[in-house]
Amino acid sequence: MPKIALFVTCVNDVAFPSTGIAAVRVLERLGVEVDFPEAQTCCGQMQYNTGYPAEAKPLAEKFAGDFRGYDAVVVPSGSCGAFVRDVHPRLLGADDPPPVYELTEYLVDVLGAQDVGAYFPHRVAYHPTCHSSRLLKLGDRPTRLLRRVAGLELVELPGAQECCGFGGTFSVKNPDVSAAMGADKVAHAVESGAEYLIAADNSCLMHIGGTARRSEAPIKTLHLAEVLASTADSPYGASA
């Protein structure tokens, strides 16, 4: 039985635990043994990308220590996954990090799964967040998984490749441009006719969802893991 360590990410831990829980459910359903190294905290991306590499380095070191010895680390976040995989080795120099997979990479590339036995009877659009598409190059992995979800209708998102405007501290350092980008993303999501906008990054979804709620736009946001965790027996929203 394959065994992985889940890196849930600090944002998911505190603000979106349901995404972490969903990732555990999907992986276990597919016969993966999931461990959660409890010492884990944060990857340091915010510090690094805001211009504080010295403050990011202790977190990269801590991450390496917390996950040492595991065969694989799975992250339900494209952005944190890319940061750990691309930037940590640069910060730490030569180390021997365990392979890090974003959730859909692990499902598709390692488990060879397409149909994960999910059921989600809703119309959805998929937003390929910038770091999951341009840094991780997830390509069509997420939509391949979504297309096999029973009951799900996948509609096209206009301007899908465009950034939502979150950008970490960009969202508060350049709030006007960030908000203008967020408003356009929400407008496109509404235009798509979807009920849910799905993505592999909760930080982007927090920005898009927060913009949608403030403007009372008819679109909900949801992490991909929660769609994949939803089944006919235990559909999304039925229980916590």
Which segments within 36-179 are labelled E, that is strand?
73-75, 100-102, 123-126, 153-155
Q: Which of 29, 62, 147, 220 binds another protein (CB under 8 A)?
A: 62
Answer yes or no whether residue 72 interacts with another protein by CB under 8 A: no
Is residue 173 at the binding interface for another protein, with CB under 8 A as the rule?
yes
Backbone angles phi, psi at 201, to 5 degrees: -140, 115
Q: Nearest approach, Cβ of 97 to another protein (angstroms)? A: 18
Binding of another protein at residue 71 (CB under 8 A)? no
The least CB distance from residue 67 to another protein, in Å, is: 15
Beta bridge partners of 221: 197
- Min CB(229)–another protein separation in Å: 13
**Binding test (CB under 8 A) with another protein, winner from 44, 78, 81, 142:** 44
What residues pair up with 4 in beta bridges, in sequence order?
Answer: 34
Spatial CB neighbours of 148, under 8 Å, sequence gap ≥ 6:
114, 115, 116, 118
The nearer residue to another protein, 136 or 149, going by C-beta atoms, is: 136
* Interacting residues with another protein between 132 and 171 (CB under 8 A): 134-135, 161-163, 165-171
Find where tokens 């036995």 sit: 117
User: What is the C-alpha to C-alpha distance for residues 23 and 40, in angstroms, rounded to an integer?
Assistant: 16
Minimum separation from the CB atom of position 190 to another protein (A)? 16
Closest contact distance (angstroms) between CB of 211 and another protein is 5
Structure tokens at 161: 């490749």
Pick from 2, 89, 174, 235 the residue near another protein by CB under 8 A: 174
Among candidate residues 19, 66, 27, the one with its CA nearest the CA of residue 43: 66
Q: What is the dihedral of CA 206, 19, 9, 207, to 10 degrees?
A: -10
State residue 169 phi and psi, 5-degree precision. Answer: -70, -10
Chain contacts with another protein (rule: CB under 8 A): 8, 10, 12-18, 20-21, 24, 36, 38-39, 41-42, 44, 46-53, 55-56, 58-59, 62, 130-131, 134-135, 161-163, 165-183, 206-207, 209-211, 213-214
